[in-house]
Structure formats: C-alpha cells, structure tokens
A = this chain, B = another copy of it.
C-alpha cells in the first residue's frame, strides 16, 4: 500500500504508475486455448470427456456425470438454511425488478420524406453462462448472469461449471433452481466455452456466452467472439472510495477490505482530503485485516495494489477518478451528487455514506458484473441488452423513394456499385 500526496511534485508520475499498473495475468495462453477449441470442434463429446478427466479429475461415467439433473437443484434449494433461501430469493427478486425496467422498446415512425423507419428488439434464442468452480463459485454471480437473460426472454439458458473431482457447490445449484437454468453441464475451462460456441452431439450451441472465468476461459471467449456474442473480458475486481473526514474510518476500511479479500490482484484505493482521516483508515485496515478469515488474501492485495491518495479538495479527486475508471466508486460524502456530476467513467457508483459496495454485490438490483481494469471508459455492466439484439427496418412508397432515391443512386455510382444504383432506378421509372 502506498500513501500518495497529490500535492507532491512527482504526483503526476506516481499516479500514472498507479493507473497503468498491470494487475491482469499476462500469461500467454492463446495457443493452448486454440488447441483445446480445435480439439472440441473436431472430436466433440469425446474431447470434452478426455479434457474433463485430465483437467478436472472428473469422469463422465453416467448421464448425471455430464449434466446435473433438475431435481438436484431443487433439492439443494429445499435443503438451504431458511435465512439463506430468503436472502437468495430477495436478491433474485430485486435483480429481476431492476432488469425488467431495462428492456428496450421498439421505434416506429414516419419521417418528413414519408419514409417509415424504426427498430425492434428481440432476445437471442439460447445463452450460455460460465460458472467458475472452486473458490469463485458464487451463487450471486449465477443470478446476476442468468436473470438478465431470462428477463430478456431467452428461451434456452445453459450453465457450464467445472466440478473438480466431482464436487459441486450446492449454493450454486440452489441459485440455478431460482434462476430457472435449463441445463447445467459439468464442464469448465476453454473446453466448455468451445462446446457452447460450436456445439457437440450432447450439447447444442448457444448464441451468447457470459460469465467470469480464469485466463483460459477469458481467452477462449475472445477466440469464439464473432461465432457467438460474449460479455466484456473481466479482470480483477477494484474499488475507489472517495471520502471526507466525516466518515467512520472503520466503515471505509471495511469497504476497502471487501474488494481486497476477493483476490490478491484486487485493488482498493481511497482518495480523501484529510491526512488525519487517511492515517485513521490505514490503521483500521490493519486492525480489521488481522481479524478476517480472508485476511491473508486481503492483506496481499492491499499491500501490493492498495493506495491512499490525499488531495487538497474532493473536487480534485474527480479527474483522478476519471483516469482510474474504476469498477466500483463510493462517494462517501454528505452531498454525493456534486461529485457524481463530475464522474465520467465508472462501472457502478455508491452514493453517500450508508451504501457499502457489498450491497451492490448481492441485493441492490443493478448488475454486479461490471467493467474492470479501466474498461468503464468504454463498456458497461451486464444488462438485458447483452441478451438481445435489434433489427432495424425501412419502408417507403413511390413518393418517398422518389424523394431520397436519386441521392442514393448518385452515391452508389460514385462508389462504383452500379447494381445498387440500378435496383433503385428501375423502381423510379
């Protein structure tokens, strides 16, 4: 962790290094992934079976080794602790409500030239969701990916998840029951992405693949992009907290640690206008990290990537925030609107002192799949739109064609496309 004084002479350079620090794996797995994809395309289920035995230690002896039956999800749901079941349902209901209102509408109008124009939106036919196995098997993540797809109207919703040595997370199964997943295949890695993109005898291909994964999964998604749609490439999580001295330092420390505990490459940054408050938060991070079950991970992330930046005024924080374009931004001040108005790039924003980022991870409603690694400069959180597509349309009668057709003929001729011109000219006669 470094404490950085924004008034120091070398601040621009120091801050540049924070912005440009690489936290993502630079592992070059593209050739390995290309080989795995080629294998699955060539040998289908046989390749899946071999790769799953080799990489996950899971053997497909029976149908249930391939695919989790619906009754297992229902049973996992029924066996949940009551409080947890209610919490998952509350989360699902709130996510559903938020995403319902995201559904885009059609357009249909006739302009001054008499041309009818517009668009319609429709869902993709089938979507695949990657659910990591092991430590990162989060039921909340399944809900955040599956519910927008369902709300979009996707007919067939498929999950893939590795089950190392056969182990499945019952919480994930319960979440799959709530979200109404149609198929759960016990495959993971690049081979699962290949199966979803190209299909095998058992597994029909899908149109869109979303969901988090390791470097192999991310590279596989990149390689099948264009054959199917994918969501944004995801990197390690991050939070930027902008806070004045009127906050409880313990609260802010907990918020910083809540990102740090995800992964050793997570990043937590505090920008404040008070040197004293900075020191208090630093102390609180140390105190709390020592008591956390996830303290080792949190400590590693905070030590390697954490930062506290002290600025003259909080307005000075906003250009820095726009450079960082962080996944999560907390504006822990009495009047967050004034700062929010200056924030151009962020995945999700938490306004005021009472909303820690963790609320957004689970139950607030907006999606927790958000752009990381400065990608909020150009991309958005997962939404219903990721599972839909738009068809534009054009209609014109003879008069409307007479109004705009000659210009199209002139342009087609100039571009050397005479059949284009001819298709209009014939109709104008």
Contacts and interface: CB of A to CB of B under 8 A. Distances in A.
Interface of A: 30, 34, 83-84, 86-88, 90-91, 94, 97-98, 101, 107, 111, 113, 115-117, 119, 122, 124-125, 135, 138-140, 171, 207-208, 222-223, 225-226, 228-229, 232-233, 248, 250-251, 254-255, 257-258, 260-262, 288, 292-294, 298, 336, 340, 343-352, 354-367, 370-371, 375-381, 383, 385, 389-398, 400-401, 404-408, 410-412, 414-424, 426-427
Contacts of A343: 391
B83 A410 contact: yes
Interface centre among A30, A261, A360, A363 (most CB of B within 10 A): A363
Contacts of A255: 423
Given A410-B84, A417-B262, A423-B258, A125 B377 contact: yes
A366 B351 contact: no
A261 B417 contact: yes
Given A124-B378, A392-B366, A405-B359, A419 B292 contact: yes
A46 to B, nearest CB: 21
Contact of A394 (B261, B366, B422): B366
B376 A420 contact: no
A260 to B, nearest CB: 7
B394 A360 contact: yes
Nearest to A370: B392
Contacts of A352: 395-397
Interface centre among A30, A250, A396 (most CB of B within 10 A): A396
A294 B415 CA distance: 11
A131 to B, nearest CB: 13
A204 to B, nearest CB: 13
Contacts of A392: 347-349, 366-367, 370, 381
B117 A250 contact: no
A406 B86 CA distance: 10
Contacts of A107: 101
Contacts of A416: 135, 293-294
Contacts of A376: 389, 391
A391 B346 CA distance: 6
